[in-house]
C-alpha cells in the first residue's frame, strides 16, 4: 500500500524537466531585467541624440550653403536626378543619423547580451568604407555620364541629327553601366556576368551598325557625311544656282538641303549634290 501511495504522489520526469526549464527561463529573465532596461534606455536616449545631431548637421550644412557649393561643383544636379529629396544636406544628415544608430544598437545589444546582433553590426561597420567608396564612384560616374550625354547631344544636335537625344541616352546608359560595374566590384560583388553582357551588347550593336551602314544605309550615310561638310560651306541665306534657277539655302538637314525659290516655293535636294558637283553661288552677307 505504501508503494502505491508513493507512486501516485510522485511527479513524472517530463513534468519535472518542463518545470525546471520554465523556472530557469523566468530566473534568467529576472536576472537580465536590469540589463534589458539599460539596453532600452540606451536605445531611447541614443535615438534622441541621433535625431538632435542629424538636425544640427543639416542646419549647419544649410547655413554654409553646402547644396550651393555642390551645385557650383556640378554635383548638385546628381542628387536631384537620383531622387534625393532635400539635396545633399538631408542625405548627409540621414547617413550620420544611421551611423550613430548602428553604434547605439550595438552597445544596447552588447549590454543585453545579444551577440548575434552585435556581430552583424560589426560586419556592417567594417563594410562602411567600401560602401562610401562605391557611393563616391557612383556619384562621380553619374555626373561624368551626364556630362558626356549632354556633350554628345549638343554635338549631334548641332549637326542636325534628329536622333541625337536617343543616341546620347544610349551612350549615357553604357557609361553608367561601366561605372556601376566598378562600384559593385568595390563592394566585392561579382560583376563578370554584367561585364560579359555589356561586351555582347556592344559587339552586337557595333556589328548591326556596321551592316546597316555598309548595306541598307550606305546612301544615307553618304548624305549625312556630305551634310556635315555642306553645313560649313553653305550658310543659311547663301544664294546658289540650281538647274539654271537661283535659290537661297534655307537649311542643311541630315540628308537633304532645303532651297527657297524666288517665287516662295522650295526645293529639297540631296546633300551630296552640293559636295560632289560644281555649284555656283554667292555667299550670304
Instruction: Categorize the per-residue pLDDT at 85 as very low, low, confident or very high, splitting at 50, 70 and 90.
Output: low
CA dihedral sign, ordered 203, 204, 206, 210? positive
pLDDT at 210: 66
Q: Which CATH class is domain 220-282?
A: mainly beta
What CATH fold (topology level) applies to the domain 129-216?
Helix Hairpins (1.10.287)
* Overall average pLDDT of the 43-59 stretch: 90
Instruction: Categorize the per-residue pLDDT at 49 as very low, low, confident or very high, splitting at 50, 70 and 90.
Output: very high
Instruction: Give the H or E element holding residue 261.
Output: strand 256-261
Give the residue ranges of DSSP H helices in the chain.
Answer: 2-9, 13-63, 66-73, 76-81, 87-112, 115-158, 164-186, 192-214, 218-233, 272-276
Instruction: Give the H or E element holding residue 279.
Output: none
Nine-digit cell at 70? 555642390
What are the strands of the beta sheet with 245-252, ordered from one edge?
A: 266-270, 256-261, 245-252, 239-242, 281-282
pLDDT, the chain, mean: 76
Distance between CA 90 and CA 27 in Å, rounded? 46
Beta bridge partners of 48: none
pLDDT at 22: 65
- Pair 202, 195: CB distance under 8 Å: no
Question: What does the pLDDT look like over 145-203, one tens digit per residue?
Answer: 888 888 888 887 776 666 678 778 888 888 888 888 888 877 777 667 666 776 777 67
Residues 6+ apart with CB under 8 A from 195: 181
Instruction: Examine the pLDDT at 2 and tell me if it is beyond 60.
Output: no
pLDDT at 177: 80
**Number of residues that make up the chain:** 285
Instruction: Assign 282 to helix, strand or coil.
Output: strand
Q: For the chain, what percent of residues have pLDDT higher than 90? A: 2
Distance between CA 117 and CA 106 in Å, rounded? 7
pLDDT at 48: 93
Which residues make up the CATH 2.30.30.60 domain(s) of the chain? 220-282
Q: CA Rg, the chain, in Å?
A: 36
pLDDT at 57: 87
Instruction: Categorize the per-residue pLDDT at 140 as very low, low, confident or very high, splitting at 50, 70 and 90.
Output: confident
Higher pLDDT, 205 or 285: 205
The dihedrals phi and psi of 252, each to the nearest 5 degrees, come to -110, 115
Instruction: Categorize the per-residue pLDDT at 115 as very low, low, confident or very high, splitting at 50, 70 and 90.
Output: confident
Instruction: Categorize the per-residue pLDDT at 1 as very low, low, confident or very high, splitting at 50, 70 and 90.
Output: very low
Instruction: Examine the pLDDT at 73 and tell me if it is beyond 90.
Output: no
Lowest mean per-residue pLDDT among 39-48, 90-99, 228-237: 228-237
Distance between CA 284 and CA 265 in Å, rounded? 19
Which residues make up the CATH 1.10.287 domain(s) of the chain? 129-216
Residues 6+ apart with CB under 8 A from 141: 175, 176, 178, 179, 180, 182, 183
The dihedrals phi and psi of 261, each to the nearest 5 degrees, come to -85, 165
- Pair 142, 78: CB distance under 8 Å: yes
Instruction: Examine the pLDDT at 4 and tell me if it is beyond 60.
Output: no
Q: What is the pTM of this model?
A: 0.46
Lowest mean per-residue pLDDT among 26-40, 100-114, 256-270: 26-40
Q: Closest Cα to residue 243, out of 219, 272, 273?
A: 273
Half-sphere exposure of 145 (CA within 13 A, CB side): 20
Amino acid at each position: 500500500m505504501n508503494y502505491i501511495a508513493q507512486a501516485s504522489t510522485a511527479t513524472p520526469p517530463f513534468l519535472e524537466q518542463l518545470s525546471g526549464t520554465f523556472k530557469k527561463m523566468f530566473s534568467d529573465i529576472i536576472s537580465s531585467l536590469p540589463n534589458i532596461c539599460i539596453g532600452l534606455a540606451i536605445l531611447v536616449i541614443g535615438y534622441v541624440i541621433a535625431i538632435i545631431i542629424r538636425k544640427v548637421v543639416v542646419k549647419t550644412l544649410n547655413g554654409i550653403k553646402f547644396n550651393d557649393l555642390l551645385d557650383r561643383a556640378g554635383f548638385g544636379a546628381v542628387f536631384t536626378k537620383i531622387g534625393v529629396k532635400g539635396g545633399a544636406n538631408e542625405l548627409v544628415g540621414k547617413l550620420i543619423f544611421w551611423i550613430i544608430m548602428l553604434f547605439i544598437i550595438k552597445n544596447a545589444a552588447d549590454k543585453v547580451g545579444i551577440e548575434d546582433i552585435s556581430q552583424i553590426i560589426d560586419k556592417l561597420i567594417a563594410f562602411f568604407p567600401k560602401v562610401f567608396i562605391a557611393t563616391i564612384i557612383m556619384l562621380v560616374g553619374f555626373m561624368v555620364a551626364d556630362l558626356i550625354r549632354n556633350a554628345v547631344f549638343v554635338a549631334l544636335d548641332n549637326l542636325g541629327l534628329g536622333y541625337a537625344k536617343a543616341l546620347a541616352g544610349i551612350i549615357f546608359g553604357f557609361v553608367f553601366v561601366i561605372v556601376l560595374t566598378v562600384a559593385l566590384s568595390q563592394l566585392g560583388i561579382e560583376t563578370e556576368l554584367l561585364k560579359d553582357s555589356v561586351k555582347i551588347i556592344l559587339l552586337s550593336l557595333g556589328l548591326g551598325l556596321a551592316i546597316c551602314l555598309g548595306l541598307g544605309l550606305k546612301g544615307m550615310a553618304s548624305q549625312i557625311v556630305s551634310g556635315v561638310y555642306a553645313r560649313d560651306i553653305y550658310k543659311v541665306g547663301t544664294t546658289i544656282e540650281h538647274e539654271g534657277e537661283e535659290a537661297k539655302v534655307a537649311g542643311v538637314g541630315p540628308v537633304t538641303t532645303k532651297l527657297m525659290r524666288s517665287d516662295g516655293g522650295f526645293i529639297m535636294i540631296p546633300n551630296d549634290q552640293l559636295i560632289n558637283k560644281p555649284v555656283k553661288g554667292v555667299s550670304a552677307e
